[in-house]
C-alpha cells in the first residue's frame, strides 16, 4: 500500500500533461458554511524573513459524504525570494471529488486585485514519480500569479475533498503544529456534523493551543513558539504537537474493514488460467514450502511493480485476475495475486499491513488508522511455522521467517479483526554491509600490487544493488567500474569484476580485482606505515539535551551492522617479528558494540576485522549519561600497521583468530565480525559499560613496540 502523504521524498522529473477537457474547469464559489476563517494579524514593523503569515487557516470537516479540507492563507511578501510563492498549485484526487477555489487575491496599498478575473488555472496530470513506477492519478491546478511584488499580501482560499473513496465517510487524520512555525497567526480546526464525531487523541504539546467546542476542535495561536522534539529521541517523540482523529474504534476494526477487500480481490473467477498456474506449481514442486516459494517467485518474476492509485486505488486492491492479465501491479495487487495462488495451493496465508518508511514507532500508543501503513505483504503458515512473502521485491528475495525490513508492528487482516502485533526487535544476525580488502604487497613497499575488493550488502540496499547490477551484462558491469575507479583513485587497473547474489544469506556480492597503489608511508630508516582501510571508528557523539527538552526521554540509534575486513600479504624479505600493529578492542557505548581485532600469521599475512552493531536501538537517559562519562576512553585510533627493522612487537593479553579475506567464512552465515561472546557476557557488558568476555573473547589485545636489545 502506498499513501501519498507517506511517499518518500525524491528528486523526480515531473511529467505533466494537460488533463482531459472535461477536467479543465475549476469551480469558483464561496466557502461552505462550516468554514470559520480567522481575522488577519497585523504585520509588525520589524517583521523579517521571507514572509509573514497574517493568517493560516486549515480546517477539515467530517460529514456523511466524507471529509473536505479548507485551506485559507494570507501572507505578506517580505523578500524577493518569496515571490516564488506566486506559483500556486492545488492538488487533489479526482476519484474523491473536485476542488473549489474561493479566491485568489493580491492586497496592495489598500487596493484588492482579483487574480482570477484575468488568469485561469491550468489543469495538469502530474505523475512526478513515474520513474519510480508510481501512477497516482492526482490532478494539479497550477497558476502563476502575475505582477506579484515585494510588500504585497497574497491571499488564497480553496477546499478539496480529503476522504479516500474506499473509506467513504470513515475518516482518519490529524492536526499538527510543526516544531518550528513561521511568525504569524495559525488556526487549525476539525469540525463534524451530528453523528460524525471521531475519536480524538490530543498530545500534550498541542493542549495549550487547543479548545474543544460543540462540534469542533480548534487549535489556534499567534507566533507559536518553537518546540523541538527531544534531541536523538525515538521517532515517536516527534508527535508531541499532534492531535489524531479516527472513526476506527480499534486496530481490530481496521483489520476487519480491509479483509473483505482482499477476500474479494483474491477470488479467482471460473475459467481463469490462474488455476492452471497453481496446478502447474503443485505438479512441479513437492511440499507446501516449495510450492509457496514457487508462487512467490512467479509473482516477483512475471508481474512487474507499478503503483496504481487511480480511481480510488489507494486502499483498494486490484483483483488477482486483473493483476495477472496486465502483468503489473502494486503491493496491493501483488498481495491479492499471491493470496489467490496460495489459497488455490491449499496454503494458509493472510495479508499483513506494515510500514516500510520506519513510521511505526509507538504505533501501539496511537489511534487506530490505516493511514499509518504504507505497504502490505503476505504471511503464510506452513507446518506450524510462519513465513513472510513480499511480492514487490526482486525474485531473489525469498520467503523468510523474519521480514526483510525490521518492522516494529504489523496488522494482519482477518474477517473478525486481528490485534496489532508487536514484532520483537533483534540485532541483525549478519552484517547489512561488508567491505573486504585484500592487499598483496609481496612485491615491496614501493611497488603497486594486486588488490581484491569485495562488498557485500543485505536488506533493501542489497535488493536495490541486485536490481541495478543484474540488469547489466558482465562486460557492461566491468566497464562501468573500470571507468569509475581508474584514473582518479589508487586503482591502476581493473582486471575483473564479478557479481552474484547469494540467496542463502540474502547478500549482494560484488568483487573487483585489479592493481593499485598501497599507500605505504615511508618513515625513513627502512620503516613503513599504513592505515588499513575502514579500520577506525569515529567516536560517538555525547548524548545530552538542552535543559528545555525532556531529559527523561530515551536516546535512539538507527539499527545497523557494519563489518570491514582487511588482509595484507606482507612484503617479501621482511621479518615477521618486526611487524607491529596498534590496539584491538571490544567496547560498548550507547547500546552499540565496537570491535576491532588484528592478527599476524606465519603465512605472512596480517589480518584485521572491524565490526559495529547496534545491540539495542534505545537506551535510557541514565545509560547515556554513564557512557558520556567514559567517552574519553573510547579508542578512535586508526587500524595502523607498521614495519620497523629496529623494533619488535611483544603481544600481551589474549587474541582471537581473524580469518583472511579470501576465506569463505566471511561470505557465509557465520561471519565473525564481532567478538564471540556469550549472551550473558554481552548483557553484562551493555549493563556495566565494560567489554565483558570469556577465554575466547578478550576485552583488549595490543602489540606494544619495544626497542631491540643492542
Q: What is the pLDDT of residues 47-85, one digit of tens each?
A: 999 999 999 999 999 999 889 999 999 999 999 999 999
Instruction: Report which of 312, 365, 41 is spatially closest to residue 184, judged by C-alpha positions.
Output: 41
Residue 366 lies in a domain: yes
Distance CA 319, CA 333 (A): 6
Q: pLDDT at position 564, please?
A: 98
Q: pLDDT at position 5, please?
A: 30
Residue 15 has pLDDT above 60, yes or no: no
Residue 23 has pLDDT above 80, yes or no: no
Whole-number average pLDDT of the chain: 88
3-state secondary structure of 480: helix
What single string gives the DSSP state of each residue in 209-274?
GEEEETTEEEEEEESPPP-PPPTT--GGGGGTTEEEEES-SSHHHHHHHHHHHHHHHTPPPTT-HH
**Span 431-440, pLDDT tens digits:** 999 999 999 9
Q: Express as a percent the part of the chain with pLDDT over 90.
A: 79
Distance CA 698, CA 586 (A): 8
What nine digits make up the cell of 233? 529521541
Residue that terminates a domain, selected from 217, 247, 277: 247
Helix-helix angle 331-344:288-302, to 10 degrees? 150
Question: Averaged over 520-546, what is the pLDDT?
Answer: 95
**In which element (H, E) is residue 322 found?**
helix 320-326
**Span 571-587, pLDDT tens digits:** 999 999 999 998 899 99
Q: What does residue 129 show for φ and ψ, rounded to 5 degrees?
A: -125, 35
Distance CA 346, CA 295 (A): 12
Tell me the pLDDT band of 654, cut-offs 50, 70 and 90.
low
Residue 698 has pLDDT above 70, yes or no: no
Residue that terminates a domain, selected from 406, 422, 438: 422
What total of structural domains would you count in the chain?
A: 4
Q: pLDDT at position 12, please?
A: 25
Tell me the pLDDT band of 362, cut-offs 50, 70 and 90.
very high
Residue 360 lies in a domain: yes
Tell me the pLDDT band of 311, cut-offs 50, 70 and 90.
low
Tell me the pLDDT band of 1, cut-offs 50, 70 and 90.
very low
Q: pLDDT at position 307, please?
A: 78
Residue in this structure with the C-alpha cell 489556534, named with its chain if needed: 220
Q: pLDDT at position 678, please?
A: 41
Contact (CB, 8 A) for 130 and 15:
yes
Residue 682 has pLDDT above 70, yes or no: no
- What separation in angstroms does the CA of 531 have from each of 62, 93, 447, 574, 575? 64, 57, 17, 18, 20
Asked if 187 and 311 sit in the same domain, the reply is no
Residue 656 has pLDDT above 90, yes or no: no
**In which element (H, E) is residue 498 found?**
strand 491-502
Contact (CB, 8 A) for 594 and 588:
yes
Question: Averaged over 13-40, what is the pLDDT?
Answer: 68
Asked if 242 and 303 sit in the same domain, the reply is no
Tell me the pLDDT band of 93, cut-offs 50, 70 and 90.
confident
Asked if 78 and 149 sit in the same domain, the reply is yes
Question: Averaged over 132-150, what is the pLDDT?
Answer: 80
Q: How would you classify the pairing of strands 328-329 and 304-305?
A: parallel
Asked if 311 and 418 sit in the same domain, the reply is yes
Asked if 400 and 538 sit in the same domain, the reply is no
Residue 417 has pLDDT above 70, yes or no: yes
Instruction: Report which of 163, 154, 160, 153 is spatially closest to residue 101, judged by C-alpha positions.
Output: 160
Asked if 97 and 195 sit in the same domain, the reply is yes
Asked if 24 and 54 sit in the same domain, the reply is yes
Contact (CB, 8 A) for 162 and 245:
no
Tell me the pLDDT band of 310, cut-offs 50, 70 and 90.
low
HSE of 147, CA atoms in CB hemisphere, 13 A: 9
- Give the range of the structural domain holding residue 328, as residue numbers without chain letter: 252-422
Cα angle vertex 128, ends 126, 134, to 5°?
A: 105
Contact (CB, 8 A) for 272 and 204:
no
Amino acid at each position: 500500500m502506498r499513501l501519498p502523504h507517506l511517499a518518500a521524498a525524491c528528486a523526480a522529473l515531473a511529467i505533466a500533461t494537460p488533463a482531459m477537457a472535461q477536467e479543465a474547469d475549476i469551480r469558483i464559489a464561496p466557502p461552505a458554511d462550516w468554514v470559520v476563517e480567522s481575522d488577519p494579524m497585523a504585520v509588525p514593523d520589524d517583521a523579517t524573513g521571507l514572509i509573514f503569515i497574517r493568517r493560516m487557516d486549515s480546517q477539515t470537516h467530517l460529514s456523511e459524504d466524507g471529509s473536505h479540507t479548507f485551506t485559507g492563507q494570507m501572507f505578506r511578501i517580505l523578500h524577493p525570494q518569496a515571490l516564488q510563492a506566486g506559483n500556486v498549485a492545488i492538488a487533489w484526487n479526482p476519484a474523491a471529488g473536485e476542488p473549489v477555489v474561493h479566491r485568489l487575491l493580491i492586497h496592495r496599498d489598500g487596493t484588492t486585485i482579483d487574480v482570477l478575473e484575468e488568469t485561469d488555472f491550468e489543469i495538469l496530470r502530474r505523475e512526478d514519480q513515474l520513474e519510480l513506477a508510481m501512477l497516482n492519478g492526482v490532478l494539479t491546478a497550477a497558476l502563476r500569479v502575475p505582477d506579484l511584488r515585494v510588500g504585497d499580501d497574497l491571499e488564497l482560499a480553496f477546499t478539496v475533498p480529503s476522504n479516500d473513496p474506499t473509506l467513504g465517510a470513515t475518516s482518519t487524520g490529524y492536526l499538527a503544529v510543526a516544531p518550528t512555525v513561521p511568525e504569524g497567526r495559525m488556526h487549525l480546526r476539525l469540525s463534524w456534523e451530528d453523528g460524525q464525531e471521531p475519536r480524538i487523541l490530543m498530545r500534550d504539546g498541542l493542549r495549550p493551543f487547543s479548545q474543544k467546542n460543540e462540534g469542533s476542535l480548534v487549535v489556534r495561536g499567534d507566533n507559536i513558539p518553537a518546540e523541538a522534539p527531544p534531541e536523538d529521541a525515538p521517532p515517536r517523540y516527534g508527535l508531541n504537537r499532534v492531535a489524531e482523529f479516527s472513526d476506527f474504534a480499534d486496530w481490530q476494526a481496521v483489520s476487519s474493514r480491509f479483509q473483505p477487500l482482499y477476500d474479494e480481490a483474491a477470488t479467482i473467477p471460473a475459467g481463469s488460467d490462474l488455476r492452471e498456474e497453481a496446478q502447474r506449481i503443485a505438479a512441479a514442486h513437492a511440499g507446501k514450502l516449495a510450492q509457496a516459494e514457487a508462487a512467490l517467485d512467479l509473482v516477483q518474476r512475471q508481474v512487474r511493480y507499478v503503483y496504481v492509485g487511480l480511481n480510488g486505488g489507494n486502499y483498494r486492491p486490484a483483483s488477482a485476475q486483473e493483476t495477472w492479465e496486465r502483468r503489473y501491479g502494486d503491493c496491493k495487487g501483488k498481495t491479492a495475486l499471491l493470496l489467490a495462488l496460495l489459497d488455490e495451493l491449499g496454503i494458509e496465508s493472510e495479508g499483513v499491513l506494515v510500514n516500510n518508511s520506519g513510521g511505526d514507532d509507538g504505533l501501539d500508543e496511537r489511534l487506530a488508522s490505516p493511514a499509518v501503513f504504507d505497504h502490505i505483504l503476505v504471511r503464510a503458515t506452513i507446518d506450524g511455522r510462519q513465513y513472510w512473502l513480499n511480492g514487490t521485491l526482486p525474485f531473489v528475495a525469498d520467503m523468510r521467517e523474519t521480514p526483510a525490513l525490521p518492522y516494529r508492528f504489523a496488522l494482519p487482516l482477518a474477517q473478525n479483526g486481528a490485534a496489532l502485533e508487536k514484532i520483537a526487535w533483534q540485532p541483525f544476525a549478519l552484517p547489512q554491509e561488508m567491505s573486504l580488502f585484500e592487499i598483496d604487497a609481496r612485491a615491496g613497499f614501493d611497488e603497486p600490487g594486486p588488490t581484491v575488493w569485495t562488498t557485500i550488502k543485505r536488506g533493501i540496499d542489497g535488493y536495490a544493488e541486485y536490481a541495478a547490477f543484474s540488469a547489466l551484462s558482465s562486460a557492461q558491469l566491468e566497464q562501468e567500474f573500470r571507468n569509475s575507479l581508474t584514473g582518479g583513485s589508487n586503482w591502476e587497473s581493473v582486471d575483473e569484476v564479478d557479481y552474484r547474489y547469494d540467496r542463502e544469506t540474502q547478500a549482494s556480492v560484488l568483487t573487483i580485482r585489479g592493481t593499485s597503489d598501497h599507500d605505504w608511508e615511508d618513515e625513513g630508516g627502512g620503516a613503513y606505515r599504513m592505515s588499513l582501510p575502514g579500520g577506525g571508528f569515529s567516536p560517538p557523539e555525547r548524548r545530552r539535551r538542552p535543559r528545555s527538552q525532556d531529559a527523561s526521554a530515551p536516546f535512539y540509534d538507527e539499527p545497523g551492522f557494519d563489518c570491514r575486513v582487511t588482509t595484507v600479504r606482507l612484503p617479501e624479505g621482511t621479518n615477521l617479528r618486526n611487524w607491529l600493529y596498534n590496539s584491538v578492542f571490544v567496547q560498548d557505548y550507547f547500546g552499540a558494540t565496537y570491535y576491532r581485532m588484528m592478527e599476524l600469521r606465519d603465512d605472512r599475512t596480517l589480518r584485521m576485522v572491524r565490526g559495529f552493531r547496534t545491540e539495542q536501538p534505545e537506551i535510557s537517559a541514565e545509560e547515556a549519561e554513564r557512557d558520556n562519562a567514559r567517552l574519553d576512553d573510547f579508542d578512535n585510533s586508526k587500524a595502523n600497521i607498521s614495519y620497523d627493522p629496529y623494533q619488535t612487537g611483544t603481544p600481551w593479553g589474549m587474541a582471537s583468530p581473524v580469518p583472511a579475506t579470501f576465506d569463505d567464512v566471511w561470505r557465509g552465515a557465520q561471519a565473525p565480525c564481532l567478538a564471540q561472546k556469550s549472551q550473558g557476557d554481552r548483557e553484562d557488558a551493555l549493563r556495566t559499560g565494560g567489554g565483558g568476555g570469556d577465554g575466547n573473547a578478550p576485552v583488549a589485545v595490543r602489540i606494544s613496540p619495544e626497542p631491540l636489545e643492542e
